[in-house]
Amino acid sequence: MAAYLYRLGRLAFRRRWLFSLMWVLVLVGLGAGAALAPAAPDAGFSMPGTESQKALTQIQQDFPNSGAKGASARIVFVAPAGQKITAAGSETAVDRVVAEISAGPQVASAANPFQAHTVSPDSTTAYTNVSYTVPAKELTADTKRVLEQAVQHGRDAGVTVEIGGTALATPTSAGGATEGIGIIAAAVVLLVTFGSLVAAGLPLLNAMITVGVSVAAILALGSTLGLSASTTSLANMLGIAVGIDYAVLIISRYREERAKGHAPQEAAGRAVGTAGSAVVFAGLTVVIGLAGLSVVGIPALTKMGLAAAGAVAVAVAVSLTLVPALLGVAPRAVLARRTRKGPRRANHDQPARAGRPTGGTRWGRLVLRRPLPILLLGIVGLGVVASPVTQLHLGSGGDGSKPTSTTERRAYDALAEAFGPGFNGPLTIVVDAKGTADPHEAVSTIAKKIAATPGVVSVSPARFDPAGDTAILSAVPDAAPTDTETADLIHTLRGERATITADTDATFAVTGSTAVDIDSAQKVQDALFPYLGVVVSLAFLLLMVVFRSVLIPLKAAAGFLLSVLAALGAVVAVFQWGWGASLLGVHATGPIMSLMPIFMVGIVFGLAMDYEVFLVSRMREAYAHGESPGNAIVSGMRTSARVVVAAALIMISVFSGFIGGTDPLIKMIGFGMAAAVLFDAFVVRMAIVPAALALLGHKAWWMPHWLQRIIPRVDIEGEALNQAPSPADAATAEPAPEPATTG
């Protein structure tokens, strides 16, 4: 592989304008496709195979006019302090608001709360549910204007009016202003690391092309594949992070090869042949972790994982071709300022300076002197950080997790205060009475038994389908949607189904947003270990091929588990327990979103293997070239520690930028990923890995002879490049300036 990538790097360097133009044309072509493609439909969230999803499907079939796919708005009216909503002035204001909304376009129904009996027991609060004939995305500006004006008229009359539902839902953002701050921080790290504006700018340009191509492809295919906005956000997040990191690795190796005295084109070829090999295998591990999400069986998760995996694959392709092409455009400008300003022959003196101790060298020697204490300290420290994961509670925050500045959150709080905490998460009971002698009697019997179940506050009157043999009930629990008592109630109703339906010949299913959240969490938990088994097994085989070792892949997997558990522990501490939540803009604590842990596991696994490949491949290279195990560790730390630290700081900056967004899933993933990279790069890869290798010695690189004969040999160390120096490599490090041509 190294030889092939070496030739690719030299070709891209030589044909720099051709390769640069190629990626520009790809970006423009996909951008045009994205601009012309129709918007992706709102496919919603489905959880195939769960009781809640089956019940929702039955509702759509038996109640075709239920308006389940149309937009909705819940208008909440709160009387002035010390007054009742039934007072003459307040009631008139409410009647006017409802009348105006009912007369608006695209409205299917809007019941008057005084006629529908949706007034709180203390008569301070009322609400009305507004149903629209079209989904939220298809609501016209005139429809929204009528709704907003009607609400404002109610407020002008002195009544507090808030809006929940999907009709005017506050749009979520991926990162907001903090995303830009994160990229600026990454640029500063690049500038400090390379000491060159050009060298700092190339990784950013590489990431921009990666993100542009990836996002344009997702938008172009969004309507065909049903990709959501979160899919684009995650591809954007990963594209920026790995696009920068992969370019950093190749550029660092190019500068190192230049310091050895190689000519620019030869240095570019060797950089792509060696560092590029690490990029390929690191990218493959990320792709495995993300594509492996398809085994979970959740369509939305599968689409997000495959799209993000595609973004990483694009990052690998762009890095291997565009970076050497850009190096060809500025072969000397990417060098450190001291090197650029010094005499050209000074490059031959760089190897001598390269032997001087660096921070990585000193740290590597310290680890060799105290491997066991460092190993134990790292493991125990991460174990302490990971301890909150034992209290992980999965669910969905909904409107209750939004900031109080949003009208949805204020509507949520007003309803909870007036009608009880369980009002915002009613359970939908679908009673199937087909085949019963008297469907209405059977439904009535089931409704009474459900109402008598401890934890149920009330059960609404049954609503039958046109055939009269299927009914929908709404059961209000006495606990909030995210409380464990509500989950226990759902399990109780399902567990006592046979008793509740006894002698009725009917059955029922429990669904609704709360039940969907609980079923989603259970499905994710059930799929976590099979998923881990798939991705860890595939990555183990891949790393065994790369390092020709059995113990190193095992160590890499163990380190990954430490990193991901510590990151999840930090997420629980902040988003569930509220430690430091206000500092991160988390306005309400609650359960961790169901999809977040398993998606973060996929990303963390890939990125953890990134750093494993970056760091250990240099140690393997030194060991393969004859150094002792201890010296190989020091050599690897000397050449790659600075790059790994810089890459980690860049990723932390990029991921932290997404914490400022309003999308709860992206906010959690951004924080979790930043924490995971921090733990994995600085604790696992920079401390635990070299300490473990120091204790293992030669055994770290052991593999049975029979296995060595079976596993293909991949030249990631670039031995073939050292055996046959290129005749094109000039005797001097800096040839005459090359003309800016594609040839």
pTM over 0.75: yes
User: Residues 657-698: pLDDT tens digits?
Assistant: 878 766 677 788 889 888 988 998 899 989 999 999 999 998
Look at residue 170 in the predicted model and tell me its pLDDT. Answer: 59
| pLDDT, average across residues 263-284 | 88
| Residue 626 exposure: Cα atoms within 13 Å on the Cβ side | 1
User: Residues 189-199: pLDDT tens digits?
Assistant: 888 888 888 88
Q: Which residues contact 215 (CB under 8 A, 6 or more apart)?
A: 34, 232, 235, 236, 239
Q: What are phi and psi of 431, to 5 degrees?
A: -100, 120
Identity (one letter) of the amino acid at 676? A
Residue 350 has pLDDT above 50, yes or no: no
The secondary structure element, H or E, covering residue 108 is strand 107-110
Q: In whole angstroms, what separates CA 29 from the centre of its chain? A: 27
Q: In whole angstroms, what separates CA 205 from the centre of its chain? A: 23
| pLDDT, average across residues 254-273 | 90
CB 570 within 8 A of CB 672: yes
CB 420 within 8 A of CB 614: no
What tokens appear for 419 in the block?
């009608």
The C-alpha atoms of residue 128 and residue 161 are separated, in whole angstroms, by 11
The C-alpha atoms of residue 148 and residue 157 are separated, in whole angstroms, by 14
Residue 209 has pLDDT above 90, yes or no: yes
Identity (one letter) of the amino acid at 389? V
Per-residue confidence at 392, pLDDT binned at 50, 70, 90? confident
Mean residue pLDDT across the chain: 84
Q: Which residues contact 448 (CB under 8 A, 6 or more apart)?
A: none
Identity (one letter) of the amino acid at 182? G
Burial zone of 185 (CB within 10 Å; 0-12 exposed, 13-18 middle, 19+ buried): middle
| pLDDT, average across residues 36-57 | 76
CB 50 within 8 A of CB 523: yes
**Size of the chain in residues:** 743
Strands 592-593 vs 394-395: parallel, antiparallel or unpaired = parallel
Look at residue 721 in the predicted model and tell me its pLDDT. Answer: 67
Eight-class DSSP state of 221: H
Q: In whole angstroms, what separates CA 519 from the centre of its chain? A: 21
Per-residue confidence at 329, pLDDT binned at 50, 70, 90? very high
Look at residue 385 in the predicted model and tell me its pLDDT. Answer: 95
Burial zone of 527 (CB within 10 Å; 0-12 exposed, 13-18 middle, 19+ buried): middle
Helix axes 595-624, 551-571, angle to 10 degrees: 150
| pLDDT, average across residues 98-104 | 92
